[in-house]
Amino acid sequence: MTSPVGTRGADYEMVVERGKIAEFAAAMQSRNPAYAGPDAVVPPTFLISSALWAPDGAAVEHGFDRRRLLHGEQEFIFHGPPPRAGQTLRVSEQIVDRYEKPGKKGGLMRFAVVVTEYRGEDGALIAEARKTLIETAPRAGAS
């Protein structure tokens, strides 16, 4: 199944947890004290872990062949200070763009841009994650 541009997944709750921030900081080999304590701040790429909170149906369908799927770019935008432990976010993702380019060895490369929004309990947009997925061109002769 392939979601067209504009498709939005079901929204869901993400609780920003102190323990999860500490676990993420350890995985990024950081001892920065900003990631510790009851009001720990989230690291710059932490919001990627919202995937752990997503129920079935929350993810939009890129529809690409997984064997040719690449993660090209990933951007995090914060519309103010990054979230802290104890905050609850409403998360939803949406396909915002699809385009194609000729592959270097022929065929077509397909691109999909997925934006995940992170809103506060008052509905204000706190952060966005923008992911560019690439499906490489099929090899000549491959079906």
Partner 1 sequence: MPVEVGEKAEAREYGPLTTRMFVRYAGASGDFNPMHYDDPLARAAGYPSVFSQGMHSAALLASFAADWLGAENVRRFAVRFREQVWPDDVLTCSGEITAVSQNESGCLVTAELSATRQTGGIAVSAIADFLLPLFR
Footprint on this chain of partner 1 (rule: CB under 8 A):
20, 23-30, 32, 34-35, 41, 43-45, 48-49, 51-52, 70-78, 81-82, 130
How far apart are CB 46 and partner 1 at their closest, in Å? 8
Compare residues 27 and 108 and give the one whose CB is closer to partner 1: 27
How far apart are CB 71 and partner 1 at their closest, in Å? 5
How far apart are CB 62 and partner 1 at their closest, in Å? 15
Compare residues 4 and 39 and give the one whose CB is closer to partner 1: 39
Task: Please tell me the chain's helix, strand, coil percentages from 3-state DSSP, rounded to the nearest 5.
Answer: 15, 40, 45
Q: What distance, in Å, lies between the first and last C-alpha atoms of the chain?
A: 19
C-alpha angle 78-79-84 in degrees, rounded to nearest 5: 60
The rounded distance, in Å, linking the Cα atoms of 62 and 73 is 15
